[in-house]
Amino acid sequence: MSDKPEISIAGRRFIAALLLICAGLLVAEFIIHRHAYFALEATPLFFALFGFVAFCIVVGGGVLLRKLVMRAPDYFDGDDDA
């Protein structure tokens, strides 16, 4: 028996549809001409890479922020003034 849960047929179809859409957008990236204001915007896959880097920065910032503001695991188990 596997530890991973089984994916339903609807879930598999949804994932397949997402992959098909991603593949279509990847092909369209090289076919459709962009009217960019800056030279960097005209590079292929710039917005995908920019979004991925921004996502990594946000997630990394969240990890660092958690370490900064997280309470001790036994914070609520302390002695009360009862």
pTM of model > 0.85 = no
Query: SS3 sequence, 40-82?
Result: HHHCCCHHHHHHHHHHHHHHHHHHHHHHHHCCCCCHHHCCCCC
pLDDT 10s digits, 9-57: 999 999 999 999 999 999 999 999 888 999 999 888 999 999 999 999 9
- Ordered by start, the domain boundaries in the chain are 9-72
